[in-house]
Chains A and B, each alone.
Chain A
């Protein structure tokens, strides 16, 4: 009996399981990981499902190895992912950088818990947002998504794979403990309704192929190991042949492209969900689980007659600067709700460039932000008392 790849139908499952099902539906057939609360259920689901689908699940010796293994698997031509939480995410940073530099498609799901260090293993935070952006050394661009529900864990994991295959880089799923462990309705569509994107392959001969020469869209077609192209892949700064090139000129050229393939395609990458934004005075900005509290607060504010609106970030990186710059002109205030000491709010402030006040509603982790706290901030902002 061959297992089903896509579990079409309605389910009541937790976010971690939904992430696994999304990955499988996207074509993921390799998972390497290391147990860590609250992401373990992703690994457990993968360990049960992957062997039946002809795939590989392997528990590595640590998260450094897990990240290295999924890069290797991806070069072997298999869509691959790993999952972790804060401490493991820290260990993965080194090879996330290798994935960026060598342009290796893969997906990393970070089910965030409270830090620093071991912190609160079983309790929520959204404290790794800046680590997601800048955690590996050097300058680069990254793509990170933030799901707010088990359903979005499913949907966004598919999107994460599609983005990683399109733009050739590790794509980060910045989930959190509550979304990971919360059971809720997940509707899995029919297989033929799911859009799957796979890496673009070279169309030229081995002699003509330059592994890091990009097409007009800044993205280079990718030959896998064993395709006969005899590629060389290195984490050193390299030229279009993939060969090490140890000078400032090569560095400039390589990093420019790594950055531009994201920046120049940001319109296709960035996704937000906007609610009540037509006549808005006070805009709440949030992502992940906090966006649910924010949505409740905005609805409650509307029922009190306050013209509040919500922008929910579905992609957290790249950050939609232009959107906020345009919103800031007409809004009384922007409010960022997030479970950390203020991380994405810095981006928000940077984006609006003082055009309107920006207020942070947050805690340091351990609990979800209460909608009431956000509602209070909305009320104050509406009265101009921020």
Chain B
């Protein structure tokens, strides 16, 4: 019996962070390796770099007809602007994931299931902050297993330049391990930065 429920995700940040690539990888993993249906659409401004950017991913056991994510159940924010703009759309029982260093959250938004990871910093430590999106995908795979981790790994391998495959897989694993240790309560996440 296929899972008919549509899972709605919104990944958001700014142009140049690989937001659309992250959505693409997730959709590809679901479609090609988890044998589900997926759509990925993107919203972007006229700027190639720095403008607000988001990718909307819907994953389902059945054909997806309406490809818009209006009320995501999982929201990933990798910039302050993305957070301010999108947090209102998150479902009350939704999961809110953000980059610790890039988003200053409000305490009033902490009623969601909240998880954060210094993805950009971790990617920098791994040698390239461009991989923050992949670290974030690893983290996401541990927090909300909408797509199997192995499927995402394969999709990452398909999607990044050959010379960076090893590094990207390391980035994915780093994010995933961090996520797993948090969900298992092995480590306490470092405090997020809140605005009052």
Q: Let me know if chains A and B touch directly in the complex, using CB atoms closer than 8 Å.
A: yes
Residues of chain A having any CB pair with chain B under 8 Å: 10-12, 121-122, 178, 181-185, 292-293, 295-296, 299, 367-368, 370-371
Most buried by B among A10, A122, A183, A367: A183
Q: Across the interface, do A185 and B41 meet the contact criterion of CB distance under 8 Å?
A: no
The interface on chain B, measured as residues whose beta carbon lies within 8 A of the other chain's beta carbons, has a size of 20
Most chain B CB inside 10 Å of its own CB: which residue of A182, A293, A367, A368 = A182
Measured between beta carbons, the chain B residues less than 8 angstroms from A11 are: 32
Residues of B contacting A: mostly? mixed
B38 within 8 A of A: yes
Mark interface residues in B40-73 (1 if CB within 8 Å of A CB, else 0): 1110111000000000000000001111100000
B31 A10 Cβ-Cβ under 8 A: yes
With beta carbons under 8 angstroms apart, the residue of B41, B46, B64 that contacts A181 is: B41
Instruction: Sort A-B residue pairs by CB-CB distance and give the 6 closest, nearest first.
Output: A12-B28, A183-B40, A296-B65, A292-B65, A12-B31, A185-B31
B66–A183 contact, CB under 8 A?
no
**Chain B residue nearest to A291 in the complex (CB):** B65
Interface SS majority for chain A? mixed
- Once A and B bind, how many residue pairs between them come within 8 Å at the CB atom? 57
Q: A178-B67, A184-B39 are in contact. List 19 more A-B contacts (CB 8 A).
A: A10-B31, A11-B32, A12-B24, A12-B31, A121-B46, A122-B44, A122-B46, A181-B41, A182-B40, A183-B27, A183-B28, A184-B27, A184-B40, A184-B67, A185-B31, A292-B65, A292-B67, A368-B66, A370-B66
Listed residue (A185, A296, A371) with the most chain B CB atoms within 10 angstroms of its CB: A185
- The reply to whether A292 and B46 form a contact with Cβ atoms under 8 Å apart is no
When A122-B45, A182-B39, A184-B38 are in contact, do A12 and B65 touch as well, CB less than 8 Å?
no
Task: List chain A residues, Cβ under 8 A from B31.
Answer: 10, 12, 184-185
Q: Is the Cβ of A182 less than 8 Å from the Cβ of B46? A: no
User: What chain B residues lie within 8 Å of A178 (beta carbons)?
Assistant: 41, 67
A12 & B27 in contact (Cβ 8 Å cutoff)? yes
The 11 listed contacts between A and B (C-beta, < 8 Å) are A12-B40, A183-B27, A184-B40, A184-B64, A184-B67, A185-B31, A292-B67, A296-B66, A299-B65, A368-B66, A368-B68
